[in-house]
Amino acid sequence: MITKDYLLKTLNWLDQLYNDLTADNQKTSSYSKLALIELCGWIEETMDDIVLRCAKRCLKSEANQKFIDKTIGDTYSFGYEAFRKMLMMVIGLATLEKIEEKLENTGKISALKSDLGNLKKSRDTAAHSHTTGTLRTYDAPSKTKHDFDRIYALLTELDAELQRHKC
């Protein structure tokens, strides 16, 4: 099961701080940046969790379980291709192809790839910069919450499809 309560609480809190009339530009920029980084961290952890749960359902060997644990630990990305490679290691390319094909019939894989790609660009800018006097602009926490809702729905559907395939 994909959890969302903690992140949703954090995003709501950041949105509230962002909309506080006493918040200056530096504060609102910081709240926006933090919301973005929190969402991306949640995505990466959720992808890891999906792969781990698949491994627990599908893999019998403790050595293979440890291999997947190490692979997850060595993967520092929330891009779809990194997620896909981890899933492929657990369920195989043929099974993943069937799942992706089913979800792509309604455009869900393309939507997930697009959303993750857009977030990665914003996240990389946020994670590799600091405030130097001129403020960068980031999407408001309310927009980040909207992105979260969309990505949560896509990952939940992908997770359910994996479970339907006994993966």
pLDDT at 134: 64
Domain span including residue 52: 5-164
**Share of residues in the chain with pLDDT > 90 (%):** 86
Contacts of 2 (CB under 8 A, 6+ apart): 46, 49, 50, 152, 155, 156, 159
**pLDDT tens per residue across span 135-156:** 778 999 999 999 999 999 999 9
Q: What is the average pLDDT score of the chain?
A: 94
Total number of domains in the chain: 1
pLDDT at 43: 97
Tokens for 7, please give them.
């992140």
**pLDDT tens per residue across span 57-114:** 999 999 999 999 999 999 988 899 999 999 999 999 999 999 999 999 999 999 999 9
In this structure, the dihedral spanned by the alpha carbons of residues 145, 147, 148 and 151, taken in order and rounded to 10 degrees, is 170
Q: Summarize the confidence of residues 51-61 as an average pLDDT.
A: 95
pLDDT at 28: 94
